[in-house]
């Protein structure tokens, strides 16, 4: 009796000639795109990873033994750094050459390329088209924007994908050595970001489903668990608190403050807005019932957005009309992600690989919406390669076609669907490029304003203070500004005793930021406002537009579009002879 070909064997049979070279063109495309953004300014949590790396150069055995005013009051690194330090160790090595932006981005570029290479290998192992799996991965805002940062998300995703690839190859070859290598990579993935812990139950579940019973193949996971326990014990002995437990407590603590119906809408909208192409795939493959449901999801998305938008309870101005349109499209695209995930699993539920990809994606969604303290685009990054592989299955995932001879497999694709993946890839890539450019433009203008304003007031002999967070804090400190304690902004007595206001002081504040408090009018008077229009009116972080790519706290959508809302930078000058007991007033 002839044995049925495994997906990996089918992949090798159906890829001939130039088709085996096509996936590598995606790597060339990705490298070219990332080189365009090689000098992108540091943004969001990039500074935390750089400061940790700079500290590690002097104290390699004490990753969190420093203090910073990240939340506007002085705190230890253990309190403010919630991710393990693998990425910062890598940046510390890069920083031995220079801390310039282009060099740090160049140092991080291999992780993005390795993630896509791993996706190509994964696609071949499960019988998907590696070219389309790679292109659909790159063609998402969730992946492309994260690849232009120096944060740990792409590092972790790279390890996640390669752990799966090595585990599948180890299982196929019955090689304990490869399985142990996969377990070690899983442990390193956890050292990049704690979401890597999900690999242990995921691989254990897949192995049991595949072997139909617990087997010796599970033993290598003990290596991963040993690495996790060693890190837990080491940080507990060093700091008196396990960093693993501290990070989980941090997520739980802040999640309670931001848990609302808005986060569930944002979870669906972020899935759609940061990936988007599943909407094209679902409309093409879903049949008339599926298309009707997805089209119905669009007005529902707009209605929910209207009822939940950030600022509604505070009677803030309504967001731009375009935000309602994007809310409708993103919500429908998020519903399409669930459609793609559900239909793929149902049609292939007898295959262990379907359980692997399905649980991989479902676990990421649960973390995005229900576990993490905020809904953020980078939290959904780990599932993008898995979802791309599902969409790139050559046969459209119909079970009966798996039993056809391998040479007839490509011919089995329906002619009317021939342009489906090219259309999905093109639309996804355009939106991903626009989002990446908008993010880089926002970060660059913050850097430019920090440089210009500090230079201007230094020339006037002013002592520069500032409020604000993220990349603004990084560049303000780099250019000689000093962050002001939040208590000294609001309370006269605290300012007089602990953080005196200089007589010739000036305080700079960006309007589109966080960790800012209204200045006390007895200490600071408003002296001017600088406006800076976002490029092409695309916003990734702005509560006025409801754009919150990095956190749904600022917006229910990962991006928004408007030409009517420039970014503002507020300038305050010190007030002499401040009376005691004055109360703060809003500045916006």
- For 504-514, the pLDDT digits (tens) are 899 999 988 88
Residue that wins the pLDDT comparison between 475 and 257: 475
- Does some domain include residue 122? yes
- CB contact at 8 A, 84 and 243: yes
At 395 the pLDDT is 54
At 259 the pLDDT is 57
Does residue 378 carry a pLDDT above 50? yes
Mean pLDDT to the nearest integer, 149-176:
96
At 291 the pLDDT is 87
- Does some domain include residue 495? no
At 411 the pLDDT is 40
- N- to C-terminal Cα distance for the chain? 77
Distances (CA, A) of 458 to 74, 307, 383, 480: 25, 47, 47, 9
Distances (CA, A) of 399 to 14, 339, 402: 18, 17, 6
Q: Nearest 5°: phi and psi at 545? A: -100, -5
- Does some domain include residue 249? yes
pLDDT in tens, 516-564: 888 888 888 998 898 887 667 888 988 878 889 999 888 899 998 887 7
d(CA 86, CA 97): 18
- Does some domain include residue 353? yes
pLDDT in tens, 229-245: 999 999 999 988 888 88
Does residue 98 carry a pLDDT above 90? yes
Number of domains in the chain: 1
Instruction: List the helix and strand counts (H, then E) for the chain.
Output: 23, 11
Pairing status of strand 560-561 against strand 538-539: antiparallel
pLDDT category of residue 296 using cuts at 50, 70 and 90: very high
Dmax over Cα atoms in the chain, in whole Å? 95
Pairing status of strand 67-68 against strand 75-76: antiparallel
- Does some domain include residue 538? no
- Does some domain include residue 529? no
- CB contact at 8 A, 381 and 143: yes
- CB contact at 8 A, 285 and 396: yes
Q: Mean pLDDT across the chain, nearest whole number?
A: 86
d(CA 300, CA 265): 11
Distances (CA, A) of 41 to 149, 263, 416, 442, 510: 9, 29, 44, 9, 16
Nearest partner of 391 among 487, 231, 276, 297, judged by Cα: 276
- CB contact at 8 A, 352 and 206: yes
Pairing status of strand 524-532 against strand 567-574: antiparallel
d(CA 362, CA 161): 15
Q: 430 lies in which domain range?
A: 7-438
* Distant-in-sequence, close-in-space partners of 315: CB < 8 Å, separation ≥ 6: none
Strand partners, 506: 464, 573
Helix (H, G, I), strand (E, B) or coil at 45: coil
CA atoms within 13 A on the CB side of 229: 6
d(CA 539, CA 548): 9
Helix (H, G, I), strand (E, B) or coil at 574: strand
At 417 the pLDDT is 57
- Does some domain include residue 71? yes
At 410 the pLDDT is 39
Does residue 399 carry a pLDDT above 50? no
At 516 the pLDDT is 85
Does residue 256 carry a pLDDT above 80? no
At 61 the pLDDT is 92
* Distant-in-sequence, close-in-space partners of 201: CB < 8 Å, separation ≥ 6: none
**374, two tokens:** 């905020």
**Neighbour count for residue 379 (Cβ, 10 Å):** 26
Alpha helical stretches, state H, 460-485:
470-478
- CB contact at 8 A, 169 and 185: no
Per-residue three-class SS string for 299-333: HHHHHHHHHHCCCCCCCCCCCCHHHHHHHHHHHHH
Nearest partner of 525 among 483, 576, 486, 568, judged by Cα: 576
d(CA 472, CA 453): 12
Strand partners, 465: 482, 507
Q: Quickly tell me which residue has 């300012």 as its tokens.
A: 495
- Does some domain include residue 82? yes
d(CA 133, CA 384): 10
pLDDT category of residue 402 using cuts at 50, 70 and 90: very low
């Amino acid at each position: 009796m002839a044995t049925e070909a495994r997906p990996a064997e089918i992949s090798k049979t159906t890829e001939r000639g130039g088709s085996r070279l096509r996936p590598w063109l995606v790597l060339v495309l990705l490298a070219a795109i990332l080189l365009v953004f090689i000098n992108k300014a540091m943004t969001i949590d990039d500074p935390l990873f750089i400061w940790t790396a700079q500290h590690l150069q002097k104290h390699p055995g004490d990753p969190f033994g420093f203090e910073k005013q990240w939340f506007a009051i002085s705190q230890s690194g253990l309190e403010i750094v919630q991710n393990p330090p693998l990425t910062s160790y890598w940046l510390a090595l890069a920083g031995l050459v220079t801390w310039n932006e282009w060099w740090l981005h160049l140092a991080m570029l291999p992780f993005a390329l390795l993630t896509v290479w791993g996706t190509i290998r994964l696609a071949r192992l499960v019988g998907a088209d590696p070219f389309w799996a790679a292109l659909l991965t790159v063609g998402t805002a969730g992946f492309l924007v994260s690849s232009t940062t120096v944060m740990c998300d792409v590092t972790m995703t790279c390890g996640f994908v390669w752990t799966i690839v090595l585990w599948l190859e180890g299982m196929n070859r019955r090689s304990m050595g490869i399985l142990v290598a996969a377990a070690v990579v899983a442990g390193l993935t956890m050292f990049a970001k704690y979401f890597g812990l999900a690999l242990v139950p995921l691989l254990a579940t897949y192995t049991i489903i595949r072997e139909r019973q617990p087997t010796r193949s599970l033993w290598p996971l003990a290596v991963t668990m040993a690495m996790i326990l060693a890190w837990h014990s080491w940080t507990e002995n060093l700091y008196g608190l396990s960093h693993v437990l501290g990070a989980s407590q941090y997520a739980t603590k802040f999640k309670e403050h931001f848990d609302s119906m808005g986060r569930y809408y944002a979870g669906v909208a972020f899935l759609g807005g940061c990936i988007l192409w599943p909407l094209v795939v679902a409309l093409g493959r879903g049949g008339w019932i599926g298309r009707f449901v997805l089209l119905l999801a669009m007005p529902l998305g707009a209605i929910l957005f209207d009822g939940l938008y950030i600022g509604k309870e505070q009677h803030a101005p309504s967001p731009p009309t375009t935000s309602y349109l994007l809310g409708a499209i993103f919500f429908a695209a998020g519903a399409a992600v669930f459609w793609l995930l559900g239909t793929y699993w149902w049609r292939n539920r007898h295959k262990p690989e379907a359980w692997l990809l399905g649980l991989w994606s479902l676990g990421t969604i649960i973390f995005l919406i229900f576990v993490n303290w905020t809904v953020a685009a980078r939290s959904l990054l780990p599932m993008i390669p898995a979802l791309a592989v599902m969409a790139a299955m050559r046969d459209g995932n119909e079970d009966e076609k798996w039993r056809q001879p391998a040479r007839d497999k490509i011919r089995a694709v329906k002619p009317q669907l021939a342009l489906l993946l090219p259309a999905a890839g093109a639309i996804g890539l355009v939106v991903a490029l626009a989002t990446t450019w908008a993010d880089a433009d926002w970060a660059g203008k913050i850097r430019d304003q920090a440089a210009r304003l500090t230079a201007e007031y230094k020339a006037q002999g002013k002592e520069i203070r500032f409020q604000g967070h993220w990349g603004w804090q990084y560049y303000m400190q780099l250019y000689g500004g000093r962050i002001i304690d939040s208590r000294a902004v609001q309370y006269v007595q605290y300012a007089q005793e602990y953080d005196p206001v200089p007589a010739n002081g000036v305080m700079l504040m960006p309007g589109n930021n966080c960790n800012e408090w209204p200045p006390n009018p007895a200490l600071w008077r408003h002296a001017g406002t600088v406006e800076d229009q976002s490029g092409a009116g695309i916003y990734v972080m702005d509560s006025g537009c409801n754009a919150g790519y990095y956190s749904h706290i600022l917006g229910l959508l990962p991006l928004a579009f408007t030409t009517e809302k420039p970014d503002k930078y507020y300038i305050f000058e010190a007030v002499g002879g401040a009376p005691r007991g004055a109360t703060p007033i809003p500045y916006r």
